[in-house]
Chain A
């Protein structure tokens, strides 16, 4: 049977009391702060995970800020483009009206005045600024007014940069387009090539816009249709300098087909007249409007000038269609970005919610459990104290008389 010394009884009781007190202090600390992890040693893996999650949450919050900003910029771009779209639609109406045969120089003049006002409007729209005072359509050069008009030429002095904004760890959204892309780089004519009549033409022929009918044969080269006589013409590939079709008989409104291109000529050209087919290239919306005004300025006094006006009008109307399509294209990409943005915002919000609940699981105290443990400890401490008081009263000396 082991011996027990008197000081052992004291020490044992004190150890028990001390241990319970330490545990009670720890539990109380937890209940007071609501945190399961007071210091990293309470749960090293949890502490490190809580930091990682905290960082991700901070980052997600920033992404939401970024997304709101991108949203603002894209919404501004979209509403600006809507204005551009309405403006082009109005011009299109005017061009159709102007192209009808009932116009007089006075009415054309009135139309021209409106177009000139609309051109100023378009310039204002193109020079719009965002909430921070940056020009929306100047590319990287936010402080530069991107579109300047000198004489009758509108030039773009921005660049082709577009600002990306980080909206999630892996995704960026382009919050804006350069003015170059929106206003300058519009395909003219039918979208593939544009047609024009030589300024020196004397006949009444008007070359139709035409189209690419055979993709395989289409070269993208420049061509000209040259009338060698009133009823014969050659088709020359100007890029390569070779004659594609020689001495073709001319029939009004009959299809002229070469290298995948089909077009036709209305009315009768004169010998020596020349029509050009120019591939690709860009024509700004401003140029289109200015061409419109130039076409309106022509007074159709005779067959040749009427043909010139008709040819120019036809190009303007076509180009306006392309312009409208182009603006719609850009608006579609803006819309796509806005919806992608919305999807990512939702995704971020979901992730944030999930991470917050994970963080709470990792870091927060189970209050019910903690309080019941605390109660248990308090009971244990009271038991030790009572038993110590009882045991320490026991001594044989009490009975020595």
Chain B
């Protein structure tokens, strides 16, 4: 029977519950991931009388979380994007900082090395500039090693970060699975949703979203299944799928993320901090490592090639100045065959910064440049970009090899010379026009075109015949005539025994020009000049000097870091907007709660007053019958 008293009591109870909800909201106003709750009130159905319905008071029909699923999804995506770009920007910033010091970078060491070569050219007979050249070469090598070690440091640090992140992913998946169990139990026991458990679960999912992009599917029993955006399961019903880290089958120095059964999922992860880390490792870091390695490889190879064209202070032909870096070939651990593959640099000036993959389909090999997918195929050996890949017997169909021509270059370059006298500053051969020559023929100093010619250092005379329109080429040592009656063209190249020279003017009959080993040529600086000249030659991919290749690398790393920063800032703004959108719906506003507090308090007080009124009415009735 509806009565004032009953109505009042329902109000008192209901408003007390509402006040409790309000105080819960106030208590959690600073709780991360908390959704404000609202007690839903409804009028109790009234009692019918002939004249109509008399109200029966109020009741609480539910306590709900105030939230918008669309906004929650947006926040989750924003967290994923923010995690990825923030991690990428942080790592790109590491590389950026590494290349920041103008004095600590490669450029000053390169300059100093070539300036030292110029000093040798200025004073080839002294030992001091030669010693300095070797000292500067050692500094340059150290600088390559230092930068390579720094890059590799970032690389191995990324391995430990990857392990920590995978541990975080596993912990979060475990938590979600545990909360799923609690939620399923709670839903079985009470009618209403376990709001605070649900908030906790959403909060874990958001943390997971920041690590790796996720999608969720709710089951009928209230449990949430969690997958990555590319479909790898993390939580299914009440069970977490634990991930692990495993060494890369092609490059064991890298760790990869694998699922519970060991299947590698790294290349499928694109979002969150994990995705950002893997992206940067694949793009930015590998690129920088290869670019630095290529400068080292091209420098060692071209400087060596030039140095070998010279003659040292003791009259011996030049050797290598640097020990050239070696290429790296990594067979996949899944390979069934036993073939060994070697890659050799045949033309360092054609090298790119790309890595290559060699595939065997059972019949022929395919070498693919990984940056753009261009490839060459055949039975082998395969040649591409100044690289020759030689394949031994025993490959099985499906075997693959990763070819990294320059990746380790900056770490492997070293100095091959220690004796300053071995610096080949001079040209190996010289030309001498006989003093008795009657004509005014002149001879350019011979240059070396083929240092391997065994007869290079033989003494050879070019003797003009009568009339002096032809000349004979005579090996003075053995007395053999290498060529007779060679037609004379003023200024034209005359090349024998691996050297080339030119005779100009009008030689007279009987005039002779000699080419011989440049023994005692301590004041000759021709090869030192040529070495120093490499500094400005465009030797890297035929387009850039060494320094330009390095500065391009710095520029690329810088713009990479810059755009990563811009991206991260933009994503952070989007995340902030998404957080505010969520706060706008689900966040606690203390003023609002204060107003609710007053409202419910007033209503509670009014209800209490109603009991008093009801009591007064009752007293009045009692007094009337007394």
**A residues whose Cβ falls under 8 Å from a Cβ of B:** 2-8, 11-12, 15, 38-45, 47-52, 54-55, 58-59, 61-62, 65-66, 69, 132-135, 138-144, 156, 159-161, 163-166, 169, 172, 180, 184-185, 220, 239, 279-282, 395-397, 400
Question: Is A44 in contact with B594, judged by CB distance below 8 angstroms?
Answer: no
Known: A62-B114, A163-B124. 8 other contacts (CB 8 A): A7-B583, A40-B96, A41-B557, A59-B535, A143-B523, A159-B518, A160-B430, A160-B431
B125 contacts the other chain (CB 8 A):
yes
Would A8 and B580 be within 8 Å (CB), given that A54-B102, A65-B122 are in contact? yes
Residues on A with beta carbons closer than 8 Å to the beta carbon of B586: 5
| A220 touching B508, Cβ below 8 Å | yes
Which single residue of chain B is at the shortest CB-CB distance from A15?
A: B576
**27 contacting pairs across A/B (C-beta < 8 A):** A3-B589, A3-B592, A4-B583, A4-B587, A5-B589, A7-B29, A39-B97, A40-B557, A51-B107, A51-B547, A51-B551, A54-B107, A54-B111, A55-B111, A62-B115, A133-B125, A134-B125, A135-B523, A140-B518, A159-B430, A160-B445, A161-B524, A164-B529, A169-B536, A220-B438, A239-B509, A279-B438
A12: shortest Cβ distance to chain B, in Å? 8
Q: What B residues does A138 contact at CB under 8 A?
A: 523
Measured CA separation A184–B525 after assembly (Å): 23
Hey, which chain A residues are within 8 Å of B558, CB to CB?
39-44, 47-48
In chain B, positions 111-141 with a C-beta closer than 8 Å to chain A are 111-112, 114-115, 118-119, 121-126
B282 to chain A minimum Cβ distance, whole angstroms, is 20
Q: Are B589 and A6 in contact (CB under 8 A)?
A: yes
- Judge whether B115 and A11 touch: CB under 8 Å: no
Q: Taking A55-B107, A132-B125, A166-B533 as contacts, is the C-beta distance between A282 and B554 under 8 angstroms? A: no
Known: A165-B122, A395-B590. A59 touches B561 (CB 8 A): no
Is B520 in contact with chain A by the CB < 8 A criterion?
Answer: yes
What are the 9 A-B residue pairs with the smallest beta carbon separation, nearest first?
A: A5-B587, A40-B558, A142-B523, A48-B555, A44-B558, A44-B559, A140-B524, A140-B521, A41-B561
Asked whether B111 lies within 8 Å of A139 as measured between CB atoms, the reply is: no
B572-600 CB contacts (< 8 Å) to partner A: 576, 579-580, 583-592, 594-595, 597-598
Does B48 interact with chain A (Cβ within 8 Å)? no
Q: Does B437 contact A (CB under 8 A)?
A: yes
Cross-chain contact B123 with A69 (CB below 8 angstroms) = yes
Could you tell me if B588 and A7 are in contact, using CB atoms closer than 8 angstroms?
A: yes
Shortest beta-carbon distance, A80 to chain B, in Å?
16
Q: Cβ of A6 and Cβ of B551 under 8 Å apart? A: no
Chain B residues with CB under 8 Å of A62's CB are 114-115, 118-119
> Which residues of B96-110 are within 8 A (CB) of A?
96-97, 99-100, 102, 105, 107-108, 110
In the bound complex, residues from chain A placing their C-beta under 8 Å from that of B126 are 132-133
Residues of B within 8 A of A139 (CB): 430, 523
Cα of A65 to Cα of B558 in the assembled complex, Å: 34
Chain B nearest Cβ from A237, distance in angstroms = 13
**Cβ-defined partner of A58 (8 Å) among B115, B437, B589:** B115
Contact of B110 with A55 in the complex, beta carbons under 8 Å: yes
Is there a chain A Cβ closer than 8 Å to B604's Cβ?
A: no
B588, A5: Cβ atoms closer than 8 Å: yes
State the Cβ distance, A372 to closest chain B Cβ, in Å. 23
Q: Do residues A140 and B118 form an inter-chain contact, with CB atoms below 8 A?
A: no
Residues of B within 8 A of A185 (CB): 435
A41 CA / B586 CA spacing, docked (Å): 39
Check B246 for interface membership: any CB of A closer than 8 A. no
Instruction: Assess the B522–A142 pair: CB atoms within 8 A.
Output: yes
Shortest C-beta distance, A307 to chain B (Å), equals 27
A69 to B122, CA, bound (A): 7
Evaluate contact between A280 and B438: CB separation under 8 angstroms: yes
Q: Are A281 and B102 in contact (CB under 8 A)?
A: no
Using A6-B587, A172-B529 as known contacts, say yes or no to A156 and B435 having CB atoms under 8 A apart.
yes
Contact across chains for B584 and A8 when beta carbons are under 8 A apart: yes
Interface of B is mostly: helix
CB of B25 to closest CB in A, whole Å: 10
Residues of A within 8 A of B431 (CB): 160
Minimal beta-carbon separation of A2 from chain B (angstroms): 5
Give Cα A180 to B430, complex, Å.
Answer: 14
State A48–B437 Cα separation when bound (angstroms). Answer: 56
- Which chain A residue lies CB-closest to B30? A7
- Is B229 positioned at the interface, with any CB of A under 8 Å from its CB? no
Q: How far is the CB of A116 from chain B (nearest CB, A)?
A: 23
254-303 of chain B: CB within 8 A of chain A: none
| C-alpha gap A59/B119 in the complex (Å) | 12
Q: Do A52 and B548 contact each other (CB < 8 Å), given the known contacts A4-B589, A166-B121, A281-B436?
A: yes
Taking a contact as CB atoms under 8 Å apart, the answer to whether B532 and A166 are in contact is: yes
* Contact, CB under 8 Å: B523 / A396: no
* Cα(A39)–Cα(B555), bound, Å: 10
- Measured between alpha carbons, how far is A231 from B437 in the docked complex, in Å? 36
Question: Could you say which of A4, A12, A59, A69 contacts B115, with CB atoms under 8 Å apart?
Answer: A59
Residues of chain A with a CB closer than 8 A to B437's CB: 280-282
Contact call B594/A397, Cβ cutoff below 8 A: yes
Question: Assuming A2-B584, A62-B118, A140-B523, is B551 touching A52 (CB within 8 A)?
Answer: yes
Q: How far is the CA of A400 from the CA of B562 in the complex (A)?
A: 52
CB atoms of B554 and A143 under 8 A apart: no
List of B residues within 8 angstroms of A282 by Cβ: 435-437
Question: Which single residue of chain B is at the shortest CB-CB distance from A170?
Answer: B536
Residue of chain A at shortest CB distance from B101: A39
CB under 8 Å from chain A, chain B span 340-369: none
Within the complex, the shortest CB–CB distance from A126 to chain B, in Å, comes to: 15
For the complex, give the distance between the alpha carbons of A11 and B118 in Å.
61
Q: Which residues of A contact B589 (CB under 8 A)?
A: 3-6
Given contacts A7-B30, A163-B524, contact A41 B93 (CB under 8 A): yes
A156 to B112, CA, bound (A): 38
Q: Judge whether B508 and A280 touch: CB under 8 Å.
A: yes
B439 CB-CB contact with A under 8 Å: yes
B377 cross-chain contacts in A, Cβ below 8 A: none
By the criterion CB–CB under 8 Å, are A44 and B584 in contact? no
* Cα(A42)–Cα(B435), bound, Å: 65
Residues B562 and A163 in contact, CB atoms below 8 Å apart: no
Closest to B586 in A: A5
- List residues of B (427-454) whose CB comes within 8 Å of A's CBs: 430-433, 435-440, 443, 445
How distant is the Cα of A141 from the Cα of B237 in the complex, in angstroms?
89
Contacts of A50 in B (CB 8 A): 102
Contact A140 B426 (CB under 8 A): yes
Whether A44 and B556, one on each chain, are in contact in the complex, defined by CB atoms closer than 8 angstroms, is yes
> What are the residues of chain A within 8 A of B554 when measuring CB–CB?
40, 44, 47-48, 51
